[in-house]
Structure 1
Amino acid sequence: MEIRVPIGVSVAPRPGAANDVSDVLDQVRNVRRAGLRQVWFGQRFDFDSLVLAGVVAQAVPEIAVGTSVVPINPRHPVVVASQAQTVQAAAAGKFRLGLGLGAATLESAAFGITEDKPVLRLREYLTVLRELIEHGGVEFAGERIRVNPHMPTTVHGGGHIPLLVAAMGPQALRVTGELADGVIPNLAGPRTLESHIVPTLERARPSRPLQVIAGVPAVVTDRVEEVRARAAESMAFYERVPSYRAALDREGVERAVELALIGDEEHVRRGLRRYVEAGATELLVTQTDLAGADDQARTWEFLAGIAG
């Protein structure tokens, strides 16, 4: 039975790959052969998700690409507008730009920057980014962002980019509802979607529905306890990030792994359906590699079979 909404998967280089880009391309081709139509790329400090999305879009033109997510603090919106439009042109209109407020501790250590007004920065960032992409430039003097490129910023073929934000706090959700095209929260469980995220977005912009792309860790496997132990270790990082900690508390769980759907096909199907019933318009399934290549392929094929 179908889930009724589109389903995409996150893809990252496998440990030990000789060439990370070639490895991702191999995986994306396998994702497409399995029957899925959307892949997403995260952003850390290694490969660049926007560059990778453009490469994948040209190499595997049948699949849609997106970022989940590009942190806004280290990159000026003029730079991101240029990159995103280039990806959109390469993807022939099948690209979505996911943005995030970032993790303060990581960004402070890596870049030596601290943003003490993240919601204000998000508001200014989305305002400027939309103008740069859709109108070819903007003059803007805000409290956190200043822009006046004095040259056109349009990349022909690169417009009409859906802007998504990994927002979960009430203020960030309000800004997202007002200025973006949707939300792409990771580890926001069904209770959080239904009682917090969706209602806040609807109040912020009642005139039209927004995309709600729920990030859900899921693996179809028979080795449940083994894979759950791996997931608990790999997901523990989120428990120390304040925004994720707040989301876990709102969901009523202590450990991030409690939101992971690990089990047979029916177990994962029931879990994903709860997200759709809570208001998700699309699913982004993460952590599919935790059980190895065979179970990852099994998971992808299952997801393709139930995707709306």
Structure 2
Amino acid sequence: MRVGIYLDDQGRSLDVVVEAARDGAKAGFASAWLTQFAGWDALTALAVVGRDAPGIELGTAVVPTYPRHPLVLASQALTVQAAVGNRLTLGIGVSHRVIVEEQFGYSFDRPVDHLREYLSVLGPLLRGESVSHRGATLTAVGAVDAPGTKPPSLLIGALGPAMLRTAGELADGTVTTWTGPATLADHIVPTITRAARAAGRPDPRVVALTFVCVTSDADARRGWVAQRFAMVGQLPSYRAVFDREGVDGPGDTVILGDEASVERQIRRLASAGVTELVALPIGSAQEQATTTDLLVGLNTRAG
């Protein structure tokens, strides 16, 4: 299992984000990832990051589909792919009803149908093919000309059974967050793997994002996460995985403890079928430094 670093860009200047990616590349992380929030555009930021952080793979986790037509997203993603020397993993997802309907004003009534149509168009576009699609949720006609680029690996933010089956059939894997080891082992990995094999595709990538902290005060760090991200537990897709895992909320999915405990918990993710861990070290400056050293060591031993 490879280990990457999550770039926390909220409230930070773009220069600080670039510096964090550069530090991650120098430290020896396999990859660096950004999420699309209501701030920096994740893909554009990665194009900038890629110029200053050579060698490290770059990923989005995730870019929402609804506000970006697949022709537009394919053009943007392939532009970034060219800018970073074909190091991009494009993670996309349908987001959540409260965001799609209340912020963007779109209907969220058929998210699985939307995703299936979206992927049936986006995949060929990323491969340089022309599309002519007029479906129930999407119309797309045209192509994207991006000479010299390779199709980026395409991952889906998928948690429920239908989304996971769609991802396994039409994408290269899934990228998850707030997901515990039992849910990954018993639900996410087997569901998407069965779908990929049934579609004649390679076994999927399973990328798991999580907070990590080597600490002697696990309760304080868990409480910080639970308080800061309390609203996560109100989103139905996350609530479902918390219930499946048998935990109360986001604070219970964080990897915490001394070095030996943290390493055991990370290895449990690998045993569950996770192919890549994307970690966000938290805690004091010293705790983050210790956590980073442990993570880089695990990545080095992984390959």
- Normalised by the shorter chain, which TM-score bucket? over 0.9
Q: Which of 185, 191, 206 matches 2:182?
A: 191
Aligned residue number for residue 234 of structure 2: 240
Matches within 5 A, 1:148-227: 148-149=141-142, 152-206=143-197, 207=200, 208-227=202-221
Instruction: Verify the 8 A CA contact 1:35 1:301 in the aligned structure 2.
Output: no
Q: Which one-letter code corresponds to 1:261 in the other structure? A: I
> TM-score normalised to the size of structure 2?
0.94
Report deviation, 1:89: 1.1
Q: Which one-letter code corresponds to 2:191 in the other structure? A: T
Report deviation, 1:79: 0.9
Report deviation, 1:120: 0.5
Instruction: Verify the 8 A CA contact 1:133 1:154 in the aligned structure 2.
Output: no
Report deviation, 1:241: 0.6
Q: Which moved more, 1:158-167 or 1:5-14?
A: 5-14
Aligned residue number for residue 80 of structure 2: 87
Alignment partners' CA distance in 1, 2:58 and 2:294: 20
Alignment partners' CA distance in 2, 1:296 and 1:88: 31
Alignment partners' CA distance in 2, 1:43 and 1:13: 9
1:116 aligned onto 2:112: no
Structure 1 unpaired stretches of 5+: none
Instruction: Verify the 8 A CA contact 1:67 1:96 in the aligned structure 2.
Output: yes
Q: Which one-letter code corresponds to 1:6 in the other structure? A: R
Instruction: Verify the 8 A CA contact 1:34 1:297 in the aligned structure 2.
Output: no
Instruction: Verify the 8 A CA contact 1:73 1:115 in the aligned structure 2.
Output: no
Distance 1:280-1:110 versus aligned 2 partners, 3 A rule: same
Report deviation, 1:13: 2.7
1:305 aligned onto 2:297: yes
Q: Which one-letter code corresponds to 2:4 in the other structure? A: G
Structure 2 unpaired stretches of 5+: none
Aligned residue number for residue 230 of structure 1: 224
Instruction: Verify the 8 A CA contact 1:212 1:282 in the aligned structure 2.
Output: yes
Matches within 5 A, 1:47-62: 47-62=40-55
Alignment partners' CA distance in 1, 2:148 and 2:258: 43
Alignment partners' CA distance in 2, 1:81 and 1:297: 37
Secondary structure of the corresponding residue to residue 135 of structure 1:
coil
Count the aligned residue pairs: 297
Q: Which moved more, 1:261-270 or 1:163-172?
A: 261-270
> TM-score normalised to the size of structure 1?
0.92
Q: Which of 238, 241, 245 matches 1:251?
A: 245
Report deviation, 1:14: 5.9
Alpha-carbon RMSD:
1.5
Q: Deviations over 1:164-185 (max 9, x none)?
A: 0010101111110100001111
Aligned residue number for residue 99 of structure 1: 92
